[in-house]
Each structure stands twice: as C-alpha cells, then as structure tokens.
C-alpha cells in the first residue's frame, strides 16, 4: 500500500521516532507547527477516525495513554497542549492513515485556521 506512515512503521523510510511499541509509533512531524509537534500513529492502517469501529477502538485508549506520557516527557502536561485529529478534506487531512497531532510549547490560538 502506498502509505507514507505505513512505510515509516515498516522502517522503509526514516522518521525521528520518540516512542514505539507493538501497536503505536510516535515521531516528530517533518513540518512542525509548534516547538513540540509529534504525530501519534496506530501501526494498523486505519484511514481516518471514521474507520474506528468495535474491532479497533481500543487503539484510541492506547493513543491517549501515549499522548499523556509524551506530554509529561516534554514537560507540557501542566502548561497544556493540543491533541488534533484532522479528518477528511475539510478537516485538512493530508495523510490518509489515522494520526493524532500532539502540539505544544506555545499558546495555541482559537479558532484554528
Ligand atoms: P494531516 O495534514 O493532519 O494529515 O497531517 C499530516 C502530517 O504529516 C503533516 O503535519 C506533515 O507535516 C506530516 N508528515 C508528512 N510526511 C511526514 C514524514 N515523512 N515524517 C514526518 N511527518 C510527516
Ligand atoms: Zn498506512
């Protein structure tokens, strides 16, 4: 499958990995939008949040747990951060493999662009 995140998961292309286990990988975004910008990605190819179902929704718990740990490790757990899932064309999703953006290290404005 021609999926850039599957290629990262299979170590076919390099990434700046900050966490990895059997189910999840997290790496630095190549085009960071904040001082801390990590992507938390399930290893199973799930195209978007709309493909979460009873068979795979456990992965969301795992991703939240990884997000909490990465927030603590990056010292943004108290100051705050943003956890973002862009979905579909209007949501600005460019990579069709589910991923959570963990953004922090600066104040995040609202509304988003
Ligand atoms: P989205 O627009 O929500 O689908 O987010 C996709 C994100 O993946 C963007 O923030 C890109 O900068 C990032 N990205 C694309 N290719 C790579 C890569 N090879 N390594 C790390 N991040 C990437
Ligand atoms: Zn994929």
111 falls within a domain: no
Binding site membership of 35 for ligand 1 (Cβ less than 6 Å):
no
The residue range of the domain holding 32 is 4-104
68 falls within a domain: yes
User: What confidence score (pLDDT) does residue 113 get?
Assistant: 86
How far is it, in rounded angstroms, from Cα 67 to Cα 63?
6
On the CB side of 60, how many CA atoms lie within 13 Å of its CA?
A: 13
User: What confidence score (pLDDT) does residue 1 get?
Assistant: 75
DSSP 60-73: HHHHHHHHHHHHHH
89 falls within a domain: yes
109 falls within a domain: no
Binding site membership of 92 for ligand 1 (Cβ less than 6 Å):
yes
Ligand approaching nearest to the C-alpha of 34: 1
User: What confidence score (pLDDT) does residue 36 get?
Assistant: 98
Q: Please write the tens of the pLDDT for every residue from 58-110.
A: 999 999 999 999 999 999 999 999 999 999 999 999 999 999 999 999 999 99
Give me ligand 1 centre to Cα 27, in Å.
Answer: 10
Q: Say which of 37, 45, 97, 99 is annotated catalytic.
A: 99
Q: Domain of 21: which CATH number?
A: 3.30.428.10
Q: Residue 101 forms beta bridges with which residues?
A: 39, 84
Atom of ligand 1 nearest to the CA of 96: 4
113 falls within a domain: no
**Active site includes 11?**
no
Share of the chain above pLDDT 70, in %: 100
Helices first, then strands: H and E counts in the chain: 2, 5
112 falls within a domain: no
> What's the domain count of the chain?
1
18 falls within a domain: yes
């Amino acid at each position: 499958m021609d999926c850039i995140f599957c290629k990262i998961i299979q170590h076919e292309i390099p990434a700046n990995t900050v966490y990895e286990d059997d189910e999840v990988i997290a790496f630095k975004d190549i085009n960071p939008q904040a001082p801390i910008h990590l992507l938390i990605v399930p290893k199973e190819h799930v195209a978007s949040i709309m493909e979460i179902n009873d068979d795979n929704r456990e992965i969301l718990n795992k991703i939240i747990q990884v997000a909490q740990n990465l927030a603590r490790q990056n010292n943004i757990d108290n100051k705050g951060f943003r956890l973002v899932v862009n979905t579909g064309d209007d949501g600005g999703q460019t990579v069709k493999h589910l991923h959570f953006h963990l953004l922090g290290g600066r104040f995040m404005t609202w509304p988003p662009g």
